[in-house]
A and B are shown apart, each in its own frame.
Chain A
Amino acid sequence: MSKIIVVDPDRCTGCGLCEMACSVVKTGELDTLRSRIRVFKWDEEGVYLPILCRRCEEPVCATVCPVNAVYRDDSGVVCVDRDRCVNCFSCVSACPNGALHIDPVEQKVLRCDQCAGDPPCVRFCEEKALQWVEIDDWQADRRRSKARHLYGQ
């Protein structure tokens, strides 16, 4: 069984705690420009969209990588092999989800690695816009809600 971070943008209030928690845990400093999760905000409309690596079935970042440094590990997380990576940023400009960033301090690719099963962004999300759930449960939920939608209940 493997777990993933699931995003429910409808619950997001744009507080930005996830960005802060991420940068602190990952880099030791509070700098949201170094966060692996980013929240797009349309304040006037009250729409917020947290974005992080969605672990695509066929990752575009892996297709464009000139040194085959992008791979999927046993838990399904799409990772970058830091020993191979040449920091060309091809993956950053190719990601269709806008989930990869350039660390302005270290000039390296920032990519969510789900923190080995204890993501601080999820822990700090009080609105539960981010949740750490079993993939199977989440897929069952989605099927149920789609079915409900189809039959108008």
Chain B
Amino acid sequence: MGNRVIAILGNGIAGDQAAVAAKRTAPDARVIMLSKEPYPLYSACVLADYISGEIPRSTVFLRSVEDYAKAGVELLLSKNVVSWSPENRSLRFDNKELSYDQLILATGSRPFIPPIPGVKKDGVFALKTFADAEGLRTAKGRSAVVVGAGPVGMEAAFAFRRMGWSVAVVELMDRVLPRMLDAPLAGSVKKQFEGMGILVFLGERVEEISGGARVEAVRTNQRILPADVVVLVIGMRPRIELAGQGGLTLGPAGGIQTDAHMGAGLPGVWACGDCAESRDLISGANGLYMLWNNARLQGHTAGANAAGSGKRYPGSLNVTTVKLFDRAVASAGAPAADFPEGETRMLHRKSLDGELWLVLKEERLVGVQGLVNLDRLGGLTAMMLKGLNIRETILKGPKPSEGRDMWPLHTLEKDLIRLLNGR
């Protein structure tokens, strides 16, 4: 009679946390972690800093193979699981069969590569894995074109500029960091970028990547940009091939549908991380919230539950910080652009130590964005999560006994009341 087997697919932060939580909850269980990757856990969030040489390889890697051995987790790297049979509770890889009692899917996501001519040429990269980063770090040339102005694209552009390349960013939307920022702060970031000598082209569509075997240029609907390296960072898609084989239900955004315990719809099957859908804490909407913090908590929940605990996943939080130049820009909740026009009211505050942008809907915060000075963003996010009525909070406080929660609104009170009163 063997011990019960908890199998984990994927060794990103979700898989890692699931393994640790499972082992902690059920020390006598066999926890087996399988990954396509040849490396143990590393942080995909800091790869751009690694490309530019800002941080060493050792900072990118968060765990060693020995760490897992010490924790009692069996780690199987470079394993491509080709099939999954939910009826037999077994996985197939390397012509071997692995039977499990509990399965945790933490298969993550892959970069979306658009169907444009030339994406297969040498010199065209995505940026998600350590292998991508190694490729970009050792790439030769002088000019880089980054397609997509999301957080990864902006960090990649910054990294190449720091290495002395000439860099252009092409974005289809009308602003940089479109899922994080509204026009005012996005405008400030773009200005900073241009000040560093990075070209930013908004509202442009890439139509072709041209050249021979190697990339030579990127053609958009407006211009031709010379390029030795092209970085395609348009977005991520969940890896759900195996989930599809097992007949798991997919959610509205195309990820694995999960319940409040990160269960994936079949008994003994759990999903977490970029491949899993979850509920947004603020909007309540189900979708893919592919962020480090969410993957970490989902992994922890899934791992503990696979080992028999009854943990609930509270929900996902959309919070992103991007460090560009010597300053950072951060956003939590949703930008006003996500709402129909007229449904939200916005407050823009510029001061010596940065900018702040608040999005309110029916007297409640739904989004906050900050540039440079980020101290109070977390406090504002907490107000957003509590669903505090901003008008009532301001009118009630600050009193020593009850008004303390309102420190994030310090010095914003009058402007906010004016805004809520309809200017």
Contacts and interface: CB of A to CB of B under 8 A. Distances in A.
A104 B55 CA distance: 21
Interface in A1-54: 9-10, 38, 40, 42, 45, 47, 49, 51
Give the size category of B's interface with A: 35 or more
Leading 8 A-B pairs by shortest Cβ distance: A66-B45, A93-B330, A93-B374, A96-B382, A95-B378, A90-B321, A89-B328, A93-B377
Given A9-B404, A40-B410, A67-B59, A93 B321 contact: yes
20 contacts: A10-B400, A42-B410, A49-B407, A51-B407, A60-B378, A66-B46, A67-B62, A86-B49, A88-B46, A89-B323, A89-B328, A89-B330, A90-B321, A93-B328, A93-B332, A94-B377, A97-B378, A98-B379, A100-B378, A101-B375
Interface stretch (B136-144, B181-189, B290-298): B290-298
Given A66-B292, A67-B60, A97-B379, 14 more contacts: A38-B375, A40-B407, A47-B397, A67-B46, A67-B62, A86-B49, A86-B59, A92-B321, A92-B374, A93-B332, A94-B378, A96-B382, A98-B378, A98-B379
A96 B381 contact: yes
A68 B62 contact: yes
Interface of B: 43, 45-46, 49, 54-55, 59-60, 62, 292-293, 296-297, 319, 321, 323, 326, 328, 330, 332, 370, 373-379, 381-382, 397-401, 403-404, 407-408, 410
A96 to B, nearest CB: 4
A61 to B, nearest CB: 9
A38 B373 CA distance: 14
Given A47-B400, A67-B43, A93-B328, A102 B410 contact: no
Interface string A88-118: 1110111111101110000100000000000
A47 B88 CA distance: 65
B128 to A, nearest CB: 14
A51 B292 CA distance: 27
B323 A87 contact: yes
Contact of B375 (A47, A49, A100): A100
Contacts of A40: 407, 410
Contacts of B54: 86
A92 B375 contact: yes
Contacts of A107: 326
A42 B55 CA distance: 42
Contact of A47 (B296, B297, B382, B398): B398
A75 interface: no
Contacts of B332: 93
A84 interface: yes
A64 interface: yes
A10 B399 CA distance: 9
Contacts of B379: 95-98
A88 B323 contact: yes
A68 B20 CA distance: 14
Contacts of B408: 98
A9 B400 CA distance: 7
A136 to B, nearest CB: 24
B323 A94 contact: no
A145 interface: no
Nearest to A87: B323
A78 to B, nearest CB: 14
A88 B44 CA distance: 13
A90 B49 CA distance: 15
Contact of A63 (B62, B297, B373, B400): B297
Contacts of B376: 98
B151 to A, nearest CB: 11
Given A47-B398, A67-B46, A86-B55, A94 B328 contact: no
A21 B330 CA distance: 30
Given A10-B400, A47-B400, A93 B43 contact: no
B319 A94 contact: yes
A98 B382 CA distance: 10
Contact of B293 (A64, A87, A96, A100): A64
Contacts of A102: 328, 373-375
Contacts of A84: 59
Contacts of B319: 64, 93-94
Interface in A64-86: 64, 66-68, 84, 86
Nearest to B403: A47
A101 to B, nearest CB: 5
